Amino acid sequence: MDNIYIYVVSLGCDKNRIDTEHMLGILAGSNAAVVESPEEADVIIVNTCGFIDDAKRESIDVILEMAQYKQSGTPALIVTGCLAQRYAKELSEELPEVDAFLGVSAYSKLLDAIRSVLDGKRYVCCDRLDGDMEGRVLTTPSHMAYVRIADGCSNSCSYCAIPRIRGPLKSRPMPSVLQEIKDLRAGGVSEVILVAQDTTRYGEDLGARQLTRLIDEAAKIMGDGWVRVMYCYPEGITEELVDVMLKHDNVCRYLDIPMQHFSDAILKRMNRRHTQKQSVALAKSLHEKGFVLRTSLIVGFPGETQEDFDILLGSIKQIRFERLGVFRYSPEEGTAAAKMKNQIDEDIKQARYEKVMAVQAGISHELGRSLIGHTMRVMADGRDETGVITGRTMGQAPSVDGVTVISTKKDLTPGTFHDVLMTKANEYDLWGELQ
């Protein structure tokens, strides 16, 4: 594909980012050149998210924006990812300006799709084809990388469309994951972030859950580099898992545990396998072991009463998560929850969303201030757009959490580790002096 110029837009979560990186790997192998702006492109690829309404709306807006660059048919426009997987049929009728649709596990057909659209033929493939993909071009800063350990999900949370989009749990064989971590480490990566829809079920479809062993092996490979784990289902966090994380100094004392709600009545309707009592006990024991906790919650779930919401609010005041994200419930067609009675008014959802954000801002600020005067290990990430040097502690995951602004005259190489004395905090970020 000599002299073919491709512009790629990547939307959605870090798992979608990995898909984009695999597509860039395929393009790199084909001699197609990736360009920095849509004006220069022969082909534009939009890798979409189709998780909830807001994300779908953003994806459509970007597709329409990219379609504006089409003058007499070029550049060709290819839509990939979750929105394509979920709505290829509807979108190919509603969006004639899109030349091809590729589903979430049909990236091996990318070059066929490009050849087809350059010949002026439409192309659609949303079959579940791809096995364990190799070769990616990182889009993260070169000192850190996401590592997908499994795709799909076999939990059936009543509000979630992901199992319909990405299919059931499909774990990557451990040798392949470990080889990727070895290659990344050899390539200078100082932090690997293990991701999946539910990392705690990793390996179950291969015979037995293997996250504990994977973390143990990954920690050995990474040396003084960090291993971080995201998206842990509460019920899957076992003593063995916690022990192996505590065994290695380079495994981040950080857990991202989407709890979604704390009212047992709502958790039951969400088809979640944990209770308020279990969640509070789990968070308490992890905090006592020095873990920083992130969670995500949904407000406005069908049938959520003021009492349910008060239980949620009371629980976050009791647990005091360091990091918390909250979503307004979005009815996703095809999910059980979308058919439930007592859908909540958008204003009530908005009010509850704002209430949670306000309470959490206070908690995060207090917890941030409690770190002032402490010297902490920080991995440098480099200079941000304002020119200041930033980094992250083990308690700060990339993209979703705040950063640590490091005051120093030195230039710190991204991916190097430093001791920083914390001097200031707000509800998101920390400030400190290099020691």
According to the binding rule CB under 6 A, does residue 155 interact with ligand SF4? Answer: yes
The DSSP annotation for 173-191 comes to: PHHHHHHHHHHHHHTT--E
- Shortest Å, Cβ 200 to ligand SF4: 9
Phi, psi of 421 (to 5 degrees): -85, 115
User: Which one among 20, 80, 197, 390 touches ligand SF4, defined by CB under 6 A?
Assistant: 197
According to the binding rule CB under 6 A, does residue 430 interact with ligand SF4? Answer: no
Q: Is 220 left (phi over 0), alpha (psi -120 to 50) or beta?
A: alpha
According to the binding rule CB under 6 A, does residue 405 interact with ligand SF4? Answer: no
Whether residue 211 contacts residue 203, with contact meaning beta carbons closer than 8 Å, is answered with yes
According to the binding rule CB under 6 A, does residue 198 interact with ligand SF4? Answer: yes
- Shortest Å, Cβ 155 to ligand SF4: 4
According to the binding rule CB under 6 A, does residue 300 interact with ligand SF4? Answer: no
- Shortest Å, Cβ 231 to ligand SF4: 7
According to the binding rule CB under 6 A, does residue 160 interact with ligand SF4? Answer: yes
- Shortest Å, Cβ 131 to ligand SF4: 21
Residues facing residue 48 across a β-bridge: 81
- Binding part of the chain for ligand SF4, among 26-34, 158-166, 321-329, 402-410 by CB under 6 A, reads 158-166
The residue (of 30 and 278) whose beta carbon lies closer to ligand SF4 is 278
User: What separation in angstroms does the CA of 93 have from each of 16, 96, 101, 138, 332?
Assistant: 24, 6, 12, 34, 21
Nearest to 261 by CA among 156, 159, 364: 159
In this structure, the number of other CB atoms found within 10 A of the CB of residue 31 comes to 10
Quote the CA–CA distance of 210 and 191 in Å, as a whole number. 20
Structure tokens at 415: 């991916």
According to the binding rule CB under 6 A, does residue 199 interact with ligand SF4? Answer: no
Scan residues 114-153 and list those touching ligand SF4 (CB under 6 A). 153
Number of shown-chain residues binding ligand SF4 (CB under 6 A): 9
Structure tokens at 273: 């396998």
- Shortest Å, Cβ 162 to ligand SF4: 4
Binding interface with ligand SF4 (CB under 6 A): 153, 155, 157, 160, 162-163, 197-198, 233
